[in-house]
Structure 1
Amino acid sequence: MLNPSRLCQIVERVQGITNGNTFVSSYLLNWYWPLHNTSNQTIVRAHAGALNDSCSCEKHRHCVQPGGIYSSTMNNAYWIMPGIRVGCSIVETWLNSTLECLYNQACINLLQVYVSTASVYISDVINVTVLDPVLPSRFATNIMIQELVNELFIESFQYEISYLEFYNQCAPSVCLYTFGKRSNFLIIISRILALWGGLTVIFGFLAPCFVKLLFKINAYRKKN
């Protein structure tokens, strides 16, 4: 299973590479090209997108602003969509957004009205069922998708341990195991007594021999 921290590192690295190499978003979120017409030529210059009039995608890739339905000049908003925050790329947009609108049928209906009005490719309203906020979940309805990614979108882990299946899959020919055990107070006392008893037996065996040796040495000295 993929480690959550490993997934976050991969996403962060991809986003860093995309921003560092100045890859242009197909939706012109980070860069755009205004046309400057002169008498005999047209000049196309790349301009970095600025969100909230203060954060430039040229210097920072974490710029976000509330998302919604804007006018063609992006000066005023017809409708701010709950939970959506537009960033310098599609990935940044989704990671910084929430799923609040998907829990609200009125929000979905209004979104479909604006989309079908603005796009010639979508003429019919799509039947979308809202998410049920009553269903038990450890994630809040207004949680950022970035946090869902950090948790791998997993509600809970269920572990099922089967040693029989493990050995059937691995089919080991030899099994060895070791275990460590700390000595408690009674074991230490018993070992000390056993050591003392062993020394007593050894001294009881060596003492007579040592005394006899002393007597022989003393008799030898007197004789000479």
Structure 2
Amino acid sequence: DPSNNFMFCTPLTTATYKASIYDWAAERRPYFRMMDPYPPPVFVIPGMKVGCMPYDAFMASNLECFFSATCLNNTAKWISSLPPSDWPKPLNSSVLMNFLPNASTSSILDQYLIDQWHNTKNYSDYFNFCAPTECTYTVEQYNSFIYILTLLIGSYGGLIVGLRTIAPLIVQCSQIIYRWLLQKTQTDVHSAQKQQGIIKK
């Protein structure tokens, strides 16, 4: 592509360029001029990239050409010796759900080359194939308003019954403790008065 600035390849070169077809049959080129874009290409392959590293070029490319009959025919015309009837047919883009024809190869690989998941459950085939000896399952169930209201009323009634049973015992224990403390206080006061009387004599 004449619009690109080509460079020499180094171990760290990650640059990519548009893939093109050049008519170099009549011209012998040295190795260092293989990336030279002159003379201009006879056909630029849409979506395809080339570069020093095949991995970088592959990840930066897309499959746009494979969905275009014009692109495939022009490419095959220059690189294929097969008759036109045997040239590849374009892919059908209407069957794609998530991937676009111009989606990069890297984005397609990020989705594991899967355009759409179809989740089909067939428990009879599963049991026939796996033949499990035991199967457990969990059912998630949300409580209804009536159930929650009944639970609250039942808890309230149980709390009242419990308090009616425990409250008299608490009152009796409180009275016993109060009497014991009162009696102890009176005894201490009486003992102190006796001691003061002895000291005065």
TM over 0.5: yes
Structure-2 residue corresponding to 1:99: 63
Structure-1 residue corresponding to 2:163: 199
Q: Cα offset for 1:138?
A: 1.9
- Residues 108 and 203 of structure 1, relative CA distance in 2, 3 Å threshold: same
Structure with the larger strand share: 1
* Structure 2 unaligned spans of 5+: 25-32, 188-201
Q: For 2:176 and 2:5, how far apart are their aligned partners in 1?
A: 105
101, 110, 114: which one pairs with 1:154? 114
* Structure 1 unaligned spans of 5+: 1-50, 117-122
Matches within 5 A, 1:32-181: 52-53=5-6, 56-61=9-14, 63-72=15-24, 73=33, 74=36, 75=38, 76-116=40-80, 123-125=81-83, 126-161=86-121, 165=126, 169-172=131-134
Q: Number of residues paired by the alignment? A: 164
Contact kept, 8 Å, 2:96 with 2:115, in 1: the verdict is no
Q: Cα offset for 1:115?
A: 0.9
Q: Percent identity?
A: 18
Q: For 2:69 and 2:181, how far apart are their aligned partners in 1?
A: 112
Q: Cα offset for 1:177?
A: 6.7
Contact kept, 8 Å, 2:49 with 2:60, in 1: the verdict is yes
Larger radius of gyration: 2
- Residues 201 and 55 of structure 1, relative CA distance in 2, 3 Å threshold: farther
When normalised by structure 2's length, the TM-score is 0.59
Q: For 1:114 and 1:191, how far apart are their aligned partners in 2?
A: 86
* Local SS of the residue matching 2:117: coil
Q: For 1:180 and 1:143, how far apart are their aligned partners in 2?
A: 43
Task: Look up the equivalent residue of 1:198 and give its one-letter code.
Answer: G
* Local SS of the residue matching 2:95: coil
